[in-house]
């Protein structure tokens, strides 16, 4: 049944406002992104083939007029609002949140992604129900729950446990012990929607485990496989049936509910697959990793640091379910109707695109001793790429062939015996070619080995840097040419004349004069030269060969030029930095930002540790320098104080001597003219003993004052 909001035929579609909680988390974000591009009422009409094709290719069509407007809450206060979100709701209390909810036509609360939202979802639907008579227009409340509320349900037929549960059985469902609050919320939402369906209509979606985009519950397996882990762990015995649904298909189901207001209030959201956990993990490991899987017991699984208890509970669910109403009554342009395994290549592409986990392919060329390996080693550490060196790749392949060929007569399985026999034949052919080529492996085998290496899962996941190979145009053409299978598979009009999966995006040539290279090798320590080609004779021979095959008219760089992968030439003679850091920085700028997960927790801890050590070292150096300067200043102050004191003493001495010299005439005068009279006056004063001796003495001196010319 179409909504009245759609308007008359020919009118522009009218937008409707949808609230989604936690739009910065996996499910909220992807549901918001999907619904923001859905035109109101579009699911009621036949899907156009063109739109179906775009959807299947994973290309998002531009936003149309009349699409749903998305508002929502966020868990991260610093979350930057994307274009597909109309408004990020930030509130201090629930009264403020309710004011936003009442403005929306559809309220979606997802409690499968964040169990902490259960209480808020129950509060929201209860508030709407209490104000049901005050609502000026109809509200729709959709609770996205989880199939874990069915986890302990008894089989419909004990004799036939493979009979799937459907929506009709929802009253018989029994939850997992850790999901009892979920089922309580489901019952509350269903109950609140029965009072006045014209004012408030409610729905509950039992969502299967979601996948797609950047991945959620299955991200643990995708990440481990992408990182080339030696083995991918499968929890438990892996025989439990895991119900799944692509996140965009879940969005399509919500779109159908919003558009058509179905009579069924409880719906199961699930694709058509019934894959076991082991089948899913093996498929991911085989398509994205090395194909190796190991089962872990429940106790061992709980020790894995990247898995939470809720994720563990979900991955061990064992349910056969059938989304009958969705399949029979909804128009869904399925992204992954047949399940994750059947559509794994599309899911992997989506996963890599969403997380920007694209391989970086680089080729570093240059003459011998120009520093290719020094530069490549550092670049591989920075960008976490695989270092492809001629000797290492060949040695690794020969060792593998040797190991396989020794089992040629010991294998029981026909397939393994065939592989071993093929390895033995290839190894024999390589050894025979070496005998006829002065101990060198022929180019055809080197090219085959390199192509296999560059097409390996590890190189296709992270990327690689070719160190000094290919050396000639012929090698480049053979190495990067499109295989016969791809030529047949691709349309000739669209086909490129090179293999896009292994063609380097960045080609760099390190350039230097022969004289510079000779001096560089001559200055190497003896330990670095011993046992290598970097002797004087070896370097000259290699240089002559390089110059011979790298003339201006006939160089491997011309091959890349013709394909418009323009090589960047760097003059390493101008780089005097340790370990050619300037050249590494220059090439890093050309490559751009890394396209991986970034540093691991251990690497971040190590970086933090090194930064802390550097900080403490710097502080210690600054403290030592400060103490040295203070000591120097104190010594200088002491020296100046001593110098000033010495100078002061000298001045005092000079003043004393000056005063002494100036006082001699005065003393002589006193001794000659004053002291005799004064002495006699004092004697007389002592004899007479007057009442006032001072007055007597003064009178005496006045009367007997000697006359001096």
Each residue's pLDDT tens digit, 603-653 = 788 888 989 999 999 999 999 999 999 999 999 999 999 999 999 999 999
Least-confidence region, from 485-494, 507-516, 575-584: 485-494
Phi, psi of 58 (to 5 degrees): 80, 15
pLDDT at res. 525: 76
Which residues in 291-353 belong to E strands, given as ranges? 293-296
Nearest to 34 by CA among 321, 258, 311: 258
Element (H, E) at 69: strand 69-73
pLDDT at res. 48: 52
Percent of the chain residues topping a pLDDT of 90:
62
Give how far the C-alpha of residue 553 lies from the chain's centroid of Cα atoms, to the nearest Å.
Answer: 43
Q: Which residue in the block uniquely carries the two structure tokens 């509910």?
A: 257
pLDDT at res. 49: 41
Q: pTM of the full predicted structure? A: 0.81
Query: Which distant-in-sequence residues (6+ apart) come within 8 Å of 280 by Cβ?
Result: 218, 221, 242, 244, 340, 341
- For CA atoms 266, 186, 339, 56, give the dihedral sign: positive
Task: Specify the CATH number of the domain 360-591.
Answer: 3.40.50.300
pLDDT per residue as tens digits for the range 191-234 = 999 988 889 999 999 999 999 999 989 999 999 999 999 999 99
For the cut 80, the answer to whether the pLDDT of residue 63 exceeds it is no
Asked if residue 283 lies in contact with residue 298, where contact means CB atoms within 8 angstroms, the answer is: no
Least-confidence region, from 140-144, 148-152, 457-461, 703-707: 703-707
pLDDT at res. 427: 86
pLDDT at res. 434: 83
Q: What's the angle, vertex CA 387, arms to CA 383 and CA 390, rounded to 5?
A: 160
Report the alpha-carbon distance of residue 563 to residue 391 in Å, rounded.
28
pLDDT confidence band for 5 (50 / 70 / 90): very low
Nearest to 189 by CA among 268, 258, 128: 128
- Describe the crossing of helices 390-405 and 414-435 by its angle, rounded to 10 degrees: 130
pLDDT at res. 704: 84
Nearest to 266 by CA among 145, 103, 123: 145
pLDDT at res. 77: 87
One fold for both 4-355 and 360-591?
yes
Nearest to 565 by CA among 685, 476, 696, 660: 476
Report the alpha-carbon distance of residue 87 to residue 78 in Å, rounded.
14
For the cut 60, the answer to whether the pLDDT of residue 324 exceeds it is yes
pLDDT per residue as tens digits for the range 71-117 = 999 999 889 999 999 999 999 999 999 999 999 999 999 998 788 89
Is 454 or 483 the better-scoring residue by pLDDT?
454
For the cut 80, the answer to whether the pLDDT of residue 415 exceeds it is no
pLDDT confidence band for 494 (50 / 70 / 90): low
The mean pLDDT value for 531-556 works out to 83
Least-confidence region, from 99-113, 535-549, 578-592: 535-549
pLDDT at res. 62: 60
Asked if residue 451 lies in contact with residue 485, where contact means CB atoms within 8 angstroms, the answer is: no
For the cut 50, the answer to whether the pLDDT of residue 3 exceeds it is no
Average pLDDT over the chain, rounded to an integer: 88
- Describe the crossing of helices 118-130 and 94-101 by its angle, rounded to 10 degrees: 60
pLDDT confidence band for 342 (50 / 70 / 90): very high
Q: Out of 3.30.465.10, 3.40.50.1000, 2.40.110.10, 3.40.50.720, which CATH number does the structure's domain 4-355 have?
A: 3.40.50.720
Sheet bearing 69-73, strands edge to edge: 87-89, 69-73, 17-20, 106-110, 139-146, 200-207, 266-269
pLDDT confidence band for 53 (50 / 70 / 90): very low
Q: Where are the domains of the chain?
A: 4-355, 360-591, 601-703
Report the alpha-carbon distance of residue 307 to residue 46 in Å, rounded.
42
pLDDT at res. 431: 86
Percent of the chain residues topping a pLDDT of 70:
91
Element (H, E) at 266: strand 266-269
Which residues in 101-242 belong to E strands, given as ranges? 106-110, 139-146, 200-207, 209-211, 232-235
pLDDT at res. 352: 95
Cis peptide before 470 (omega within 30 of 0): yes
pLDDT per residue as tens digits for the range 140-165 = 999 999 999 999 999 988 888 889 99
Nearest to 319 by CA among 112, 144, 173: 173
Phi, psi of 144 (to 5 degrees): -95, 105
Q: What's the angle, vertex CA 262, arms to CA 212 and CA 170, rounded to 5?
A: 75
Q: How many residues does the chain have?
A: 709
């Amino acid at each position: 049944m179409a909504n009245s909001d759609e308007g008359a035929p020919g009118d522009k579609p009218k937008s409707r406002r949808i609230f989604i909680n936690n739009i910065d988390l996996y499910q909220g974000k992807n549901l918001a992104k999907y619904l923001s591009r859905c035109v109101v009422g579009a699911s009621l009409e036949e899907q156009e083939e063109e739109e179906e094709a775009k959807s299947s290719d994973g290309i998002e069509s531009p936003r149309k007029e009349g699409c749903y407007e998305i508002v929502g809450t966020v868990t991260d206060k610093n979350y930057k609002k994307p274009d597909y979100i109309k408004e990020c709701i930030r509130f201090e209390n629930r009264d403020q949140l309710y004011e936003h909810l009442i403005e929306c036509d559809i309220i979606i609360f997802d409690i499968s992604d964040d169990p902490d939202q259960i209480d808020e979802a129950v509060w929201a639907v209860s508030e709407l129900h209490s104000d049901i008579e005050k609502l000026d227009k109809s509200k729709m409340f959709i609770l996205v729950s989880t199939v874990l509320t069915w986890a302990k349900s008894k089989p419909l037929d004990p004799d036939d446990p493979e009979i799937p549960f459907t929506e009709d059985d929802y009253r018989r469902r029994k939850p997992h012990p850790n999901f009892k609050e979920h089922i309580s919320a489901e019952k509350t939402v269903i109950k609140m929607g029965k009072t006045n369906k014209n004012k408030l209509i409610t729905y509950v979606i039992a969502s299967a485990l979601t996948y797609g985009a950047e991945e959620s519950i299955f991200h643990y397996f995708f990440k481990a496989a992408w990182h080339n882990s030696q083995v991918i762990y499968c929890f438990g015995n892996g025989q439990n049936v895991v119900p799944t649904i692509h996140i965009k298909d879940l969005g399509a189901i919500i779109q159908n509910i919003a558009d058509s207001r179905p009579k069924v209030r409880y719906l199961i959201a699930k694709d058509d697959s019934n894959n076991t956990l082991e089948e899913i993990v093996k498929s991911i490991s085989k398509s994205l990793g090395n194909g190796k899987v190991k089962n872990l017991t429940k106790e061992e699984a709980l020790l894995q640091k990247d898995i939470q208890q809720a994720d563990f509970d979900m991955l061990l669910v064992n349910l056969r379910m059938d989304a009958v109403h969705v399949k029979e009554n909804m128009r869904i342009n399925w992204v992954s109707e047949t399940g994750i395994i059947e559509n794994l290549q599309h899911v992997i592409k989506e996963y890599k695109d969403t997380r920007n986990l694209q391989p970086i392919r680089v080729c570093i060329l240059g003459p011998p001793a120009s520093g290719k390996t020094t530069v490549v080693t550092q670049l591989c550490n920075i960008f976490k790429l695989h270092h492809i060196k001629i000797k290492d790749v060949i040695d690794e392949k020969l060792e593998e062939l040797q190991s396989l060929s020794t089992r040629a007569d010991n294998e029981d399985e026909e397939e393994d015996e065939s592989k071993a026999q093929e390895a033995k034949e290839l190894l024999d052919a390589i050894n025979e070619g070496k005998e006829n080529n002065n101990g060198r492996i022929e180019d055809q085998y080197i090219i085959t080995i390199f192509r296999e290496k560059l097409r390996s899962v590890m190189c296709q996941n992270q990327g690689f840097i070719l160190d000094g190979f290919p050396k000639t145009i012929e090698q480049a053409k053979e190495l990067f040419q499109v295989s016969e299978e791809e030529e047949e598979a691709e349309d000739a009009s669209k086909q490129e004349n090179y293999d896009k999966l292994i063609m380097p995006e960045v080609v760099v040539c390190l350039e230097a004069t022969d004289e510079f290279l000779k001096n560089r090798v001559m200055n190497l320590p003896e330990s670095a030269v011993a046992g290598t080609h970097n002797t004087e004779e070896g370097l000259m021979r290699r240089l002559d060969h390089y110059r011979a095959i790298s003339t201006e008219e006939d160089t491997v760089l011309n091959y890349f030029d013709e394909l418009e992968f323009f090589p960047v030439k760097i003059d390493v003679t101008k780089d005097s930095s340790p370990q050619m850091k300037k050249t590494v920085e220059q090439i890093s700028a050309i490559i751009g930002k890394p396209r991986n997960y970034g540093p691991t927790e251990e690497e971040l801890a190590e970086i933090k540790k090194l930064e802390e050590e550097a900080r403490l070292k710097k502080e210690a150096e600054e403290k030592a320098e400060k103490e040295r300067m203070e000591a120097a200043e104190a010594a200088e102050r002491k020296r100046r104080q001593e110098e000033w004191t010495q100078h002061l003493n000298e001045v005092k001495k000079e003043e004393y001597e000056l005063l002494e010299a100036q006082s001699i005439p005065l003393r002589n005068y006193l001794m000659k003219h004053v002291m005799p009279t004064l002495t006699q006056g004092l004697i007389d004063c002592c004899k007479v003993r007057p009442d006032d001796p001072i007055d007597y003495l003064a009178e005496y001196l006045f009367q007997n004052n000697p006359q001096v010319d």
